[in-house]
Copies of this chain bind each other. A is one copy, B any other.
Amino acid sequence: MGEPVSRTKRAVASPEIERLVSLLAKLPGMGPRSARRAALHLLRKRETLMQPLGEALGDAALKIKQCSQCGNLDTMDPCAICIDPSRDPTILCVVVDVSDVWALERSGAFSGHYHILGGVLSALDGIRPEDLRIGGLLARVGLGQIREVVLALAATVEGQTTAHYLADLLADSGVKTTRLAQGVPMGGELDHLDDGTLLAALKARRTV
C-alpha cells in the first residue's frame, strides 16, 4: 500500500521466510504487508498452525478432485452430493462456481443436485459457451430424470446473459426452467438498495 517497489523486492529475511511470504502474498486479499504478518504469525504458532496448515494443503492438493458429473470439489468422484441418496435427483441447480454450492449448502435451502458451469459467458473476457460445462449440463438433462433446472446465476449482466442462453438451450428439452427470485435482501434497507433491485422487487410484488 503505497510503499516503494524496492522495499518489497529487497530480501530481508532468510530465503525460506521470503519464499513463504511471497507465496502467502498470492492468496486473495493478501498483500506483501499482510503476508509478512501472516508468516510471522505462522512462525510463532508452529505446532498449532504452521505444521497443520502445511499438512492440510498437501493433503487437499493430493486428495481433492473435481466431480466429473457436477464439477464440485471433493475427495470422491462422483462427489458426496451427487451420490447422496437422500437428495432429490429430479431438480438440478445450475451455479457458476463451487463457492455458490457452498453458499447454498450453508443455507440448507436446497436438497437437489448441482451443476457447476465454471464461469459465465462474457464477450469482454472472451468466455464462450464451449468454455463452460454446458455440454455436461445438456447431457445430464438428456438422461430424462431431471424435471426442473434452477438457474441460480448472479443478477449481473453476464449472469443473466448466461441464464437466458441456457434457458433457450433447455427450451425444447421439456424440463421446467426457473431462476432465483430477485428482490429486497433480508435485512436490506430500502434507501441502501440500488434502483434496479427496487424496480425488480416492486415489479414482482406479492399480496400479503
Contacts and interface: CB of A to CB of B under 8 A. Distances in A.
Interface stretch (A13-21, A82-90, A133-141, A162-170): A13-21
A184 interface: no
B59 A16 contact: yes
Contacts of A73: 13-14, 17, 40, 43
A50 interface: yes
A105 interface: yes
A29 B29 contact: yes
Number of copies of chain A assembled together: 2
A98 interface: yes
Interface stretch (A31-39, A145-153, A188-196): A31-39
A107 B27 CA distance: 25
B56 A61 contact: no
B98 A40 contact: yes
B16 A60 contact: yes
A68 interface: no
A28 interface: yes
Given A40-B98, A54-B61, A58-B58, 8 more contacts: A12-B106, A13-B102, A27-B41, A27-B42, A28-B38, A29-B29, A29-B38, A42-B60
9 nearest A-B residue pairs (beta carbon)? A54-B57, A12-B105, A54-B58, A23-B53, A50-B61, A20-B56, A7-B106, A27-B38, A12-B102
